[in-house]
Homo-oligomer: A and B are copies of this chain.
Amino acid sequence: MNRFLSHATNRVDAKGRVSVPAPFRSVLQERQIQELYGFQDFVFPAISIGGPELMERFERQLGQLDAFSPEAHQMSLLVHGGGVFMKLDPEGRLMVTDFIRAFTGITTEVTFVGRADYFQLWQPRAFQDAQQAARLAHQRRSAPAT
């Protein structure tokens, strides 16, 4: 399977590194992704990470907006100003920079969350809460009359 799926929590070591889960690494390899692009998620307090085509996709989306609209400016601020290139070390770990910590609240542990075409870095507790909220929202939508 060539999609990012499931979630897993790994520990940040004393040097600020964290191992990317092996299943995710093999997806990266299958997709021939060597350059990683990360950015601040639009909706959640999480960093989204994928290949270069991920940024391109958002730029395309950006192009559909009125270039002078507040939305376009905001998105550009997020995609470009909030974006960053990342590299894995030989063991498949990435550095948890202050850029990441500040936006996500990550300290000692990182939850990796698959999102099909890309994956995300979350503060573990924040992910649990967000997922729980999503589940409740889904139930509310499914059974609106209670």
A residues adjacent to B (C-beta < 8 A): 1, 3-8, 23, 35, 42-44, 52, 59, 61, 68, 70-71, 73-78, 80-85, 99, 113-116, 127, 130-131, 133-135, 137-139, 141-142
Instruction: Tell me if B131 and A43 are in contact (CB < 8 A).
Output: no
Check if A77 sits within 8 Å of B134, measured CB to CB: yes
Are A7's CB and B113's CB within 8 A? no
Interface residue from B84, B131, B141 paired with A77 (Cβ < 8 Å): B131
Taken together as a complex, chains A and B put the C-alpha atoms of A107 and B46 apart, in Å, by: 31
A78 and B131 contact, CB distance less than 8 A: yes
CB-based contact A82/B131 at 8 Å: yes
**CB of A9, distance to nearest CB on chain B (Å):** 9
Q: How many copies does the complex hold?
A: 2
Q: Are A134 and B74 in contact (CB under 8 A)?
A: yes
Assess whether A114 is in contact with B80, with CB atoms less than 8 Å apart.
yes
Report which of B35, B78, B134, B139 forms a contact with A138, defined as CB distance below 8 A: B78
A7 touches B81 (CB 8 A): yes
Q: A8-B99, A42-B138, A74-B137 are in contact. List 9 more A-B contacts (CB 8 A).
A: A1-B52, A5-B85, A6-B99, A7-B81, A44-B73, A71-B137, A76-B116, A77-B113, A78-B134
* Chain B residue at smallest Cβ distance from A141: B71
Check B42 against A68 for contact (C-beta < 8 Å).
yes
